C-alpha cells in the first residue's frame, strides 16, 4: 500500500518533470507538499480526486509580447505573463511584477503561493500572478506609461472583476496601476474599477491598501508573540527592503513601540541604532526615488554596501524584499544573536534551510503566505467597495485588516495544533489554505 508520503513524493517528481528549469516554482510546491501527508491520511478523497495534482497545474498560462518605444524613439520588446492558477474560491487575484528577473518560473511560484495566501484570508478570491521582465528603474514617466499601455492592450482581453483582478507588486505601484487602468478603460469602454486594485483613493482605491502588506505582517508577528506571552513593544527590529512593504512595516512597528534599527535596498544596508527616521526614509524612497545610501547624508548612521542586514543583532526580523534573501547561514546568525520572531513580508524570502533553522530553534516563524496576506486581503476589501460603489474610512479599513490578520493567525495556530505540530505556522498555514481550496474543488467536480 502506498503511504501518503510516497504519494506526495511521486506528485512532486511529476511537477519537476513537467516544469523543468523553474527552481522557484519547485521550491514553493515542495514547501506546501511536505506539509500535506497528514491531510491525505485524514482525507483520502483528496488523493482519489487528484486534488494536489490539479492544484499544481495552472488553469491557464498567458505569455505575450510587449513592444514599446523609449524616449529616444528606439523600439523595445519585453515579455508579459499572466498565470491564473486556481479559481475555486473566486476570481483570479494576484499582483503584477515588473522586474528584469521575471520569467515564467517566478510567476508560477508567486501564483502558486497566492492560491493559499488568498484562501487564508477567508475572502472569495482565487490565486494568480503576472508581470513582465520590463525594468521600470531609471525610466521616465512617459516610458512607463507607454509600456503599461502596450502591456494592457493584450492583457485586457483576459481580465474582468468576476474573472481576473490584478494588483501591484515589485515595480508596480499606484502610478503603474493608473496607466494600466486608463488603457483598460480606453479599450473596453467600461469604468470597471473593480478590475484592478491598488488604485489611488481619488478614483476607487482603498485607503490602507498602500500600508496593508507591511501593517499586516506586523499584526501577524504581534499575534505570534502574544501567543507566547510576549509583546512587540520595546523589541529591536530589522526590516529588509525599503519599498512599500518595508516602509509600512517600519511605520507599524514604530506605532506599536518597537525600535527599527536597520533597513536596506538592493545595494546595501543602513544601520541606525537610534532608530530609523521614517520621515526621512519616506522622503528618499517615495518622493525622491533615491538609494538608501543617501540616508547617511542627513543622519548619523552607518551604510554598508553589499552588507547582510541579518548580521545585525535584533529581536524581530522582517524580510520584506524578495524571494530567497535570507539563507541558512543568516538564519543561524539571527538565532545565535537572540532573534525571537521572524515575519515574512515578502514572498518566500527564506530558503528551505533557513526555514528549518527557525523551526528547529523554536522561534516564532510566520511564513509569507500567512504573514504578508494583508495586502491581498485589503485588495479584496477594495473590490468590495468598488462593487458597492462605496468608500470606507482609513480607520474602518484598517480595523478590517487587523481582524483578518488575527483570524489568519488563529486559524494557523489551531490547525497546527490539530495536526500535531503546535506552534508551527508553516504547517498550519499550508493546511488551512489547502483544505479550503480542496473542499471547493471537490464540490465543483472534475473541472
pLDDT of residue 187: 98
Residues known to be catalytic? 129
CA distance 316 to 341: 5
Cβ atoms of 91 and 126 within 8 Å: the answer is yes
Q: In the sheet where 259-264 sits, what is the strand order?
A: 302-305, 268-271, 259-264, 236-240, 316-319, 341-343, 364-366
CA distance 208 to 206: 6
The answer to whether 117 is a known ligand-binding residue is yes
Nearest to 101 by CA among 352, 323, 326: 323
CA distance 18 to 29: 13
CA distance 131 to 66: 11
The answer to whether 19 is a known ligand-binding residue is no
CA distance 282 to 289: 9
pTM of the model: 0.94
Name the residue with cell 545595494.
Answer: 267
CA distance 204 to 191: 10
Tell me the H-state helices in 267-315.
278-282
Cβ atoms of 93 and 380 within 8 Å: the answer is yes
Domains in the chain with CATH codes: 4-55 (no CATH), 60-191 (3.40.50.10860), 211-371 (3.40.50.720)
Strands in 153-299 per DSSP E: 164-168, 236-240, 259-264, 268-271
Cβ atoms of 59 and 83 within 8 Å: the answer is no
pLDDT of residue 1: 75
The answer to whether 114 is a known ligand-binding residue is yes
What crossing angle do the helices spanning 209-227 and 394-418 adopt, rounded to 10°?
A: 40
Under 8 Å CB-to-CB from 346, ≥6 apart: which residues? 240, 241, 245, 319, 320, 321, 322, 323, 325, 368, 372
pLDDT of residue 263: 97
CB count in 10 Å sphere of residue 234: 10
The answer to whether 93 is a known ligand-binding residue is yes
CA distance 216 to 349: 16
Under 8 Å CB-to-CB from 11, ≥6 apart: which residues? 33, 52, 53, 56
What count of Cα atoms within 13 Å lies in the side-chain half-sphere of residue 230? 15
Q: String of b and e for 104-126 (b: at least 16 CB within 10 Å)?
A: bbbbbbbbbbbbbbbbbbbbebb
Name the residue with cell 524613439.
Answer: 73
Q: String of b and e for 198-214 (b: at least 16 CB within 10 Å)?
A: bbeeeebbbbbbbbbbb
The answer to whether 386 is a known ligand-binding residue is no
CA distances from 43 to 4, 241, 397, 433 (A): 10, 41, 37, 15
Q: Mean pLDDT, 10 residues at a time, over the chain (447 residues)?
A: 90 97 96 96 95 98 98 98 98 97 97 98 98 96 98 98 95 95 97 95 93 97 98 98 96 98 96 97 92 94 96 98 95 98 96 97 97 96 95 96 98 97 97 98 96
Tell me the H-state helices in 228-327.
244-255, 278-282
Q: In the sheet where 60-69 sits, what is the strand order?
A: 60-69, 75-86, 126-132, 92-98, 164-168
Three cell numbers written together for 252: 507599524
pLDDT of residue 98: 98
CA distance 164 to 194: 10
- In terms of phi and psi (left: phi > 0; alpha: psi -120 to 50; beta: otherwise), the region of 274 is alpha
CA distance 434 to 411: 13
pLDDT of residue 145: 98
Strands in 7-125 per DSSP E: 60-69, 75-86, 92-98
Kindly report the backbone phi and psi dihedral angles of residue 241, in degrees, each rounded to the nearest multiple of 5, phi listed first: 90, 170
Name the residue with cell 502588506.
Answer: 213
The answer to whether 302 is a known ligand-binding residue is no
The answer to whether 213 is a known ligand-binding residue is yes
pLDDT of residue 227: 97
CB count in 10 Å sphere of residue 247: 22
Amino acid at each position: 500500500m502506498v503511504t501518503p508520503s510516497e504519494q506526495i513524493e511521486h506528485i512532486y517528481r511529476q511537477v519537476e518533470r513537467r516544469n523543468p528549469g523553474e527552481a522557484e516554482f519547485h521550491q514553493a510546491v515542495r514547501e506546501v507538499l511536505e506539509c500535506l501527508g497528514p491531510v491525505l491520511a485524514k482525507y483520502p478523497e483528496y488523493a482519489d480526486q487528484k486534488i494536489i495534482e490539479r492544484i499544481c497545474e495552472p488553469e491557464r498560462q498567458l505569455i505575450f509580447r510587449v513592444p514599446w518605444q523609449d524616449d529616444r524613439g528606439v523600439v523595445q520588446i519585453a515579455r508579459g505573463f499572466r498565470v491564473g492558477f486556481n479559481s475555486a474560491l473566486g476570481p483570479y487575484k494576484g499582483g503584477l511584477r515588473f522586474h528584469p528577473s521575471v520569467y515564467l518560473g517566478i510567476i508560477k511560484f508567486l501564483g502558486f503561493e497566492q492560491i493559499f495566501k488568498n484562501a487564508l484570508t477567508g475572502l472569495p478570491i482565487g490565486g494568480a500572478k503576472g508581470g513582465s521582465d520590463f525594468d521600470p528603474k531609471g525610466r521616465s514617466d512617459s516610458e512607463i506609461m507607454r509600456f503599461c499601455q502596450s502591456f494592457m492592450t493584450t492583457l485586457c482581453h483576459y481580465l474582468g472583476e468576476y474573472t481576473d483582478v490584478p494588483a501591484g507588486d515589485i515595480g508596480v505601484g499606484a502610478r503603474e496601476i493608473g496607466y494600466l487602468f486608463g488603457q483598460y478603460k480606453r479599450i473596453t469602454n467600461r469604468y470597471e474599477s473593480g478590475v484592478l486594485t491598488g488604485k489611488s483613493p481619488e478614483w476607487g482605491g482603498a485607503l490602507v491598501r498602500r500600508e496593508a502588506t507591511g501593517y499586516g505582517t506586523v499584526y501577524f508577528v504581534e499575534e505570534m508573540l502574544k501567543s507566547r506571552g510576549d509583546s512587540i513593544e520595546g523589541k529591536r527590529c530589522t526590516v529588509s527592503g525599503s519599498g512599500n512593504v518595508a516602509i509600512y512595516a517600519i511605520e507599524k512597528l514604530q506605532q506599536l513601540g518597537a525600535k527599527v534599527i536597520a533597513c536596506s535596498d538592493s545595494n546595501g544596508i543602513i544601520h541606525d541604532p537610534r532608530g530609523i527616521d521614517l520621515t526621512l526614509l519616506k522622503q528618499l524612497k517615495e518622493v525622491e526615488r533615491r538609494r538608501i545610501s543617501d540616508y547617511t547624508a542627513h543622519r548619523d548612521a552607518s551604510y554598508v554596501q553589499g552588507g547582510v542586514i541579518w548580521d545585525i543583532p535584533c529581536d524581530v526580523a522582517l524580510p520584506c524584499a524578495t524571494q530567497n534573501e535570507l539563507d541558512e547561514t543568516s538564519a543561524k546568525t539571527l538565532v545565535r544573536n537572540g532573534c525571537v520572531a521572524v515575519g515574512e513580508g515578502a514572498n518566500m524570502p527564506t530558503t528551505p534551510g533557513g526555514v528549518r533553522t527557525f523551526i528547529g530553534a523554536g522561534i516564532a516563524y510566520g511564513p509569507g503566505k500567512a504573514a504578508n496576506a494583508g495586502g491581498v486581503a485589503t485588495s479584496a476589501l477594495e473590490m468590495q467597495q468598488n462593487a458597492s460603489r462605496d468608500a470606507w474610512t482609513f480607520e474602518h479599513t484598517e480595523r478590517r485588516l487587523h481582524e483578518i490578520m488575527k483570524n489568519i493567525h488563529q486559524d494557523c495556530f489551531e490547525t497546527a495544533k490539530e495536526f500535531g505540530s503546535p506552534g508551527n505556522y508553516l504547517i498550519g498555514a499550508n493546511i488551512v489554505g489547502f483544505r479550503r481550496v480542496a473542499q471547493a474543488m471537490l464540490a465543483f467536480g472534475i473541472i
